[in-house]
Structure 1
Amino acid sequence: MPADEFLPDPLHLCIALGPLAAYLIVLGGVNLRSRPLVVSGPRDLAALAVAVSGLVVAGPMELFMIEGAAQFWGPWVWVMLLAAYALGVVLLVLLMRPRLIVYHIQLEQWRPVVAEVAARLDPEVRWAGDGLVLPELGVQLHLDAVAITRNVALVSSGPNQNLEGWRRLERELRKALARVRAPRNPAGMFWLALGLALALTVTWQLAQHPGAVAQAFSEMLRL
């Protein structure tokens, strides 16, 4: 049996890998920067949702498509499905607790920065291990680090959080990190190479099978 029979058609392969390739390229670039990057929890989740959106479209959405609805609504059925996906992501963003993610920094380098900013924002700041309480800001959090990827997350502890306090903390951390230099993360080369490989795969498929891609696209939209 030819190996091609185990692969999806070129269109679905491109849809599945395209957004993921872009995400990995950006992730690799972030880890090769000379400065850390602070991202809020909602933005990080939204970026991840975009990265896997192609897999969702080419997988579950296509697999569980109700054919009757597709024939009735035509291309508009995809608009409704993508809108439902976007609304689901928005709902997750609204339900998630506050958090900040710092890419491309190690915990040993990050902790003094947090301590300095926290002491400046709230003189009553208290530490307990990796936990941090800023009573005047209404912020309670703990540090969660992933050494391999050099990412550190500030995760809220408990449901009672002041969103404005988190915004102030994020702004001050951005300013403080502008003065911090971090060595390039070797993992950044891996993410970048993987993203470029996926992007080249997408480009190759589009260039090699333009007719098949156009036909599959028409069938997908029920045109």
Structure 2
Amino acid sequence: MDALHLSIALGPLAVYLMVLGLVNLATRPFVTTGTRDTAALGLAISGLVVAGPMELFLPEAAAQIFGPWIWLLLLGAYALALTLLILLLRPRLVIYNISIDQLRAVLSEVVTDLDREARWVGDSLVLPRLHVQLHVEPFAALKNIQLVSSGPRQSDAGWRRLENALVPALRKSAGTPNPYAVSFLVFGSLMVGIITLNLIGNSHEVVVQWNEMLRR
């Protein structure tokens, strides 16, 4: 793979790995939504999509008509596809740097204030008044826990209320950094180093490849 396409493919992924490493190094629990989590992953692999399928299957007839603007259309199509995927996903929350016992204790306290009819059934939690049903799924590799919706009938407003109540409650809890965080940072830094060296060492070729990519 040439220097330009290598940089495009690995650049967003390197940034994602480094951000993920920093999140996993935190000493406090970190909460994000499934929407933001999926959007971040979609951005991380966007470079691979551009350097791979988009470049490979680029419609030459359209490129002759639109010129460099064809890439804007393709990136727009990718953004729309990612947005559609996010809209089709069921609600979920992702919590980093916390054990399942800690989360259950905090969650039990929070849901009591939100819905007095809330009840646990094994690893599942039902909040009738908020129209929220979820189950707890730990993911050991990234040391995070996901609260995943159960069943099709879910209230987005109920999930937002749960998130808004959970975030300040978790700030009082002490988190445990993920030992794999260093690996994410190392791999991300290595990718940045490889990209930088390739761009510096092949600057003339990169300009030529960039012009070819834009069909100039």
User: For the superposition of Structure 1 and Structure 2, which TM-score range results when normalised by the shorter chain?
Assistant: over 0.9
Question: How far is 1:148 from its partner?
Answer: 2.6
Q: Which of 17, 28, 31 is the matching residue for 1:35?
A: 28
Question: How far is 1:96 from its partner?
Answer: 1.1
Matched, 1:93 2:82: no
Hey, what's the Cα distance between the residues in 1 that align with 2:176 and 2:154? 34
Describe how 1:1-223 pairs up with structure 2 within 5 A: 8-223=1-216
Hey, what's the Cα distance between the residues in 1 that align with 2:22 and 2:32? 15
With normalisation by structure 2, the TM-score equals 0.98
User: SS in structure 1 opposite 2:72?
Assistant: helix
Paired amino acid for 2:170: L
Aligned identity (percent) is: 53
Deviates more, 1:75-84 or 1:142-151: 142-151
Question: How far is 1:106 from its partner?
Answer: 2.2
Unaligned 5+ runs, structure 2: none
With normalisation by structure 1, the TM-score equals 0.95
Hey, what's the Cα distance between the residues in 2 that align with 1:29 and 1:13? 24
Aligned residues: 216
Encode CA deviations 1:167-196: one digit per residue, 9 max, x unaligned.
000011101111111122111001111111
Hey, what's the Cα distance between the residues in 1 that align with 2:117 and 2:204? 66
Q: What root-mean-square deviation, in Å, do the aligned CA atoms of Structure 1 and Structure 2 show?
A: 0.8
* Alpha carbons 1:106, 1:147 under 8 Å: kept: no
Paired amino acid for 2:59: I
Hey, what's the Cα distance between the residues in 2 that align with 1:55 and 1:95? 23
Hey, what's the Cα distance between the residues in 1 that align with 2:146 and 2:70? 38
Unaligned 5+ runs, structure 1: 1-7
Hey, what's the Cα distance between the residues in 1 that align with 2:68 and 2:173? 49
Deviates more, 1:63-72 or 1:45-54: 63-72
